């Protein structure tokens, strides 16, 4: 039985794909983002729930030195995460943004793979640090960030507009 489960796990990972966002992904990602925040009671002002860019992620990530990655399996979008040089950040720092997974895809390591892809991209274009903002209600995400080397900060960096976020973290590139 264990051998079968192991093979099944390998197959599941093989068919999961991480790719850059396309215009056709906007609606699905906006739904995942908003339903995730609703699930945790975070559909409040000062979060990505109300960002004007939430409904047009593809367009928002057409600037230089940005990328938004989509995780999909069998053509179904599981979640996404991006790298964006948010307003007011130091020139060597970029923000990990809009990291959201569908409820059914959480806890499977897919979010970790998305974050690793974002870290790899940020490093490849010369960023030295990655910043993020989150909330205590998203404790599983906070734990995942810590496992990937993000450290807590005493206050926010830059001017993201997410005034409801109360956890700020930074990862320095090795």
Domain boundaries, the chain: 17-172
What pLDDT is recorded for position 153? 96
The pLDDT value recorded for residue 7 is 44
Are 171 and 150 in contact, with CB atoms under 8 Å apart?
A: yes
Q: Torsion-angle region of residue 55: left (phi > 0), alpha (psi -120 to 50) or beta?
A: alpha
Q: Taking the domain 17-172, which CATH number applies?
A: 3.40.630.30
Give the pLDDT of residue 9.
52
147: number of Cβ within 10 Å: 10
Q: With CA atoms as reference, report the closest residue to 98 among 136, 56, 139.
A: 56
Rg over CA atoms, the chain? 16
What is the C-alpha to C-alpha distance for residues 141 and 89, in angstroms, rounded to an integer?
22
If you ran DSSP here, which 8-state letter would residue 68 be given?
E
Give the pLDDT of residue 1: 40
Mean pLDDT by 10 residues, the chain (174 residues): 45 73 97 93 84 91 96 94 94 94 91 96 97 90 94 91 86 90
């Amino acid at each position: 039985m264990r051998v079968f489960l192991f093979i099944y796990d390998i197959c599941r990972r093989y068919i999961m794909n991480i790719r850059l966002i396309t215009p056709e992904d906007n609606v699905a990602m906006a739904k995942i983002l908003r339903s995730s925040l609703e699930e945790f009671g975070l559909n409040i002002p000062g979060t990505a729930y109300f960002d004007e860019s939430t409904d047009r992620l593809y367009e928002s990530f057409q600037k230089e030195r940005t990328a938004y990655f989509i995780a999909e399996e069998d053509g179904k979008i599981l979640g996404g995460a991006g790298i964006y040089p948010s307003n007011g950040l130091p020139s060597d720092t970029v923000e990990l943004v809009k990291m959201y997974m569908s409820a059914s895809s959480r806890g499977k390591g897919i979010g970790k793979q998305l974050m690793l892809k974002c870290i790899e991209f940020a490093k490849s274009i010369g960023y030295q640090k990655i910043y993020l903002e989150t909330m205590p209600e998203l404790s599983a995400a906070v734990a995942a960030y810590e496992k990937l080397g993000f450290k807590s900060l005493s206050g926010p960096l830059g001017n993201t507009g997410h005034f409801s976020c109360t956890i700020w973290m930074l990862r320095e590139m090795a």
